[in-house]
Amino acid sequence: MAKERRDDRPDGLEERVVKIRRCAAVVKGGRRFSFNALVVVGDKGGRVSWGYGKANEVPPAVEKAAKDAQETMKRQRKVQLKGATIPHRVIGRFGSSRVILVPAGPGTGVKAGPGVRDVLECCGIHDILTKTHGSTNPINLVKATIQGLLTLRTREEVAALRGVTL
């Protein structure tokens, strides 16, 4: 299955379909299929969110997921970046999934598996190293990655919280 990437949105957001799953319900005449879609939406400037949609066909499921992600992004805070990478090492946790995010030097690229890569690229991160432990369920990996990114803090933020001058 080829990764679907849509940049043609009028609002300038990038939308990535991470996973499409098929669900079958056995009915009197045979099987009835429905589809679930996991979509990541970001502005490549530090704002990223995920959405989940269900429908009887794939395109409406993707549309519902994208709409869900867009609405969630309005309520979420911006991720703190340091150039094209992150300011410090962080571990994102969700369920039994663990995603370790490590800053990398310029030119390294995004070294990440599926799901995690989509979140990082939609966020606007270009140089980073990652490692996943535990469950590799795409939904949990996406949630763990976003949770890890939202816990990032810059030196200035930490100094202000502690009341210390740099």
- Where in the chain are the domains? 4-75, 90-161
Average pLDDT over residues 114-140: 94
In the chain, beta strands by DSSP E: 4-6, 14-27, 30-42, 48-55, 90-94, 97-103, 110-111, 128-134
User: Regarding the domain delimited by 4-75, which CATH topology (the fold level of the hierarchy) does it fall under?
Assistant: Double Stranded RNA Binding Domain (3.30.160)
| 4-75 and 90-161 agree in CATH topology | no
At residue 4 the predicted structure's pLDDT band, cuts being 50, 70 and 90, is: low
- Asked whether the predicted pLDDT for residue 97 surpasses 70, the reply is yes
**pLDDT (tens digit per residue) in 31-83:** 999 999 999 999 988 899 999 999 999 999 999 999 999 999 888 888 888 88
Q: Is the pTM of this model over 0.85?
A: yes
Average pLDDT over residues 110-127: 93
At residue 28 the predicted structure's pLDDT band, cuts being 50, 70 and 90, is: very high
Residue showing tokens 């990440």: 112
Say what the pLDDT of residue 8 is: 56
**pLDDT (tens digit per residue) in 98-116:** 999 999 999 999 999 999 9
Say what the pLDDT of residue 1 is: 47
CA separation for the pair 22, 34 (Å, rounded): 6
- 5 phi/psi in degrees, rounded to 5: -135, 125
**pLDDT (tens digit per residue) in 5-20:** 555 566 788 999 999 9
User: Regarding the domain delimited by 90-161, which CATH topology (the fold level of the hierarchy) does it fall under?
Assistant: Ribosomal Protein S5; domain 2 (3.30.230)
